[in-house]
Amino acid sequence: MRELRTQESKKFEKFFEIIRKEAVEENSIFFCDCGEGREFFKDDMEGEDLMGWLVPKNLADVFEPEWRSNNVGERWNSFVRFAIWREEKGEILISFQSF
């Protein structure tokens, strides 16, 4: 997955697909930096709140090299978001929040 720096489990990748779809709704790509805890585990999926950058698609090719090199400049600070999960009626949903 383009937006992850590390190889993850199939269960986590299923969770991250939900994040990807939510990012697409905002015409963006969520580049993950790290997990923030509040983990959940289901039979077919696992995940946690994540921190990263919600970057508009038209800027993703400029941002990605900095992100891949772990050297993201301050100019990207306004794109920092937390992908916060919640469960409603058995479905995992994501909202992007800044703090």
Give me the pLDDT at residue 15, please.
Answer: 98
Predicted local confidence at residue 61, as pLDDT: 98
Residue 65 lies in a domain: yes
Confidence of residue 1 (pLDDT cuts 50, 70, 90): confident
The answer on pLDDT for 93 being more than 90 is: yes
The answer to whether residue 32 is domain-embedded is yes
Question: For residue 58, is it within any domain?
Answer: yes
Domain presence at residue 67: yes
Does a structural domain hold residue 25? yes
Task: Classify residue 3: in a domain, yes or no.
Answer: no
Q: In this predicted model, what pLDDT tens digit does every residue of 74-86 receive, in sequence order?
A: 999 999 999 999 9
Q: Which domain holds residue 50?
A: 10-97
* pLDDT tens string 5-64: 888 999 999 999 999 999 999 999 999 999 999 999 999 999 999 999 999 999 999 999
Say how many domains are in the chain.
1
In-domain check, residue 4: no
> Rounded CA gap, 6 and 91, in Å?
26
User: Is residue 2 over pLDDT 90?
Assistant: no
* 16 belongs to a structural domain: yes
Instruction: At 63, give phi and psi (nearest 5°).
Output: -70, -40
> pTM of the prediction?
0.94
